[in-house]
A and B are shown apart, each in its own frame.
Chain A
Amino acid sequence: MGPECLFVLDNYNDYVSGELDRDSSARVERHISVCPNCETFLGRYMALHGKTVQLLRIPAPTSLKDSIARMMEKA
């Protein structure tokens, strides 16, 4: 594991959050384009994270939306 692998490990969470600065994000992307291990690691991490978030994004019940709309009509 080289220094650029360690840089990815230190920063992948902020990278996934979109909270890493542009230069550091580019550094992560440069490295994963040449390091299969880091590419696999980050790819799987993001895939599992993405599916987790997607399944948690449930909508509000229609009855609640209707109730709020009625509240607004009366206000």
Chain B
Amino acid sequence: MEKTEKRLHFENEILSSLDSMYRYALHLTRNPEDASDLVQETCARALKAANRFRTGTNARAWLFAIMKNVFLNQRRAKSTGEIPSDWTEDVETGDQRFSGSIWPQPFEIFLKDLMREDIERAMNELSDDFRSVFVLCDVEGFSYAETAELLQIPVGTVRSRLHRARASLQSMLSQWYSEGLGG
């Protein structure tokens, strides 16, 4: 059966979101194999529900919402029903400022020496709450409002978690490098 233009458009939306979906799946599962399985299951469900997708709406946000639900359902089925704190817990608000003096000097060398392994290690030190918001806003480029809708939390919480996540990452990376562990 020949596919309609709308269907082809929808499939293209999925294909162009695959890198992004895989990264979010990696964040959720913390395991490359599980992440690939989660993306496949998400795509299968999205394709089945393609007729519910409205052209012109944010396909990536829709796919991420499906993925989050699939992940939560799988996790509930596997565990005792514990829901990750991302979607249940609030966090105290407050702007965590830090001084520029935390960055190792010379700064340019520190920046050049920074490796993906250091950043992944720092990401793993973040709580799920902070990591989710950092991944969605900064790595995947969702707005505060889109992230708030996806995680079902207030925009103010997205903002405060993001700011604290960034500060924590920069502090950890700087501290490890200064201690000779990150370089």
Contact = CB atoms under 8 A, between A and B. Distances in A.
Q: Do A and B come from one complex?
A: yes
Interface residues of B, number: 40
Contacts, number: 100
Contacts of A63: 36
Instruction: Give the interface centre of A16, A48, A57 by most chain B CB atoms within 10 Å.
Output: A48
Nearest to B103: A44
Contacts of A47: 107, 111
A29 interface: no
Instruction: Give the interface centre of B23, B97, B138 by most chain A CB atoms within 10 Å.
Output: B138
A51 B182 CA distance: 15
A34 interface: no
Interface of B, helix, strand, loop or mixed by DSSP: helix
B18 A60 contact: yes
A19 B155 CA distance: 11
Contacts of B67: none
Interface of A, helix, strand, loop or mixed by DSSP: helix
Interface in A25-55: 37, 40-41, 44-45, 47-49, 51-53, 55
Interface residues of A, number: 34
Contact of A59 (B11, B19, B100, B166): B19
B111 A48 contact: yes
B147 to A, nearest CB: 10
Q: Closest 7 interchain pairs by CB? A: A60-B22, A55-B116, A41-B100, A13-B163, A59-B19, A60-B18, A64-B36
Given A48-B170, A55-B115, A56-B116, 8 more contacts: A44-B103, A51-B111, A52-B169, A53-B138, A57-B23, A60-B23, A60-B39, A67-B36
Interface of A: 9-10, 13-14, 16-17, 19, 37, 40-41, 44-45, 47-49, 51-53, 55-61, 63-65, 67-69, 71-72, 75
